[in-house]
Amino acid sequence: MGAEGHAISERLHDGPLQLLGAALLKTEMCEQLIVLNRGDELPARLAELRAALEQAAIDLRSIMVDARRESPQR
């Protein structure tokens, strides 16, 4: 893998992957809140989950745009 690939890999790891990891934890928290009959806390947690997923999508788009810019089609 070239330097470009490494840089993309690092950005994917530090950005979207970490956000997806956090999002997975938030889904588990929602499951737990249901089990614990704390459904009133769900809307706030779901909003956090959505924010994490939105940010992951934004980061992915940005990485895609930069990757295209750095490797123009021949």
Partner 1 sequence: MYLERSNDRESARGNDIRVVLADDHQLFRQGLKALLEMERGITVVAEASDGLEVQRVSLEQEADVVLMDINMPIVDGLSATRELLRARADIGVIILSMHHEEGHVFQALRAGARGYLLKTSRVSEVASAVRAVSTGLSLLDPSVTTSVVSEFRRMSSKQTPEDGLGQLTETEVKVLQHVAAGMSNKEIASRLSLAESTVKNRLSVLFEKIGVLDRTQAAIYAITHGIAPTAVQNVRVGV
- Summarize as ranges the residues that interact with partner 1 (CB under 8 A): 13-14, 17-19, 21-22, 24-26, 28-29, 32, 36, 52
CA-based nearest residue to 30, from 63, 59, 52: 52
Give the nearest distance from C-beta 9 to partner 1 in angstroms.
Answer: 10
| Structure tokens that stand for 9 in this block | 């890999």
For partner 1, the closer of residues 1 and 74 by Cβ is: 1
For partner 1, the closer of residues 22 and 63 by Cβ is: 22
For partner 1, the closer of residues 36 and 74 by Cβ is: 36
Q: b/e per residue, 1-18, with b = 16+ CB within 10 A?
A: eeeeeeebeebeeebbee
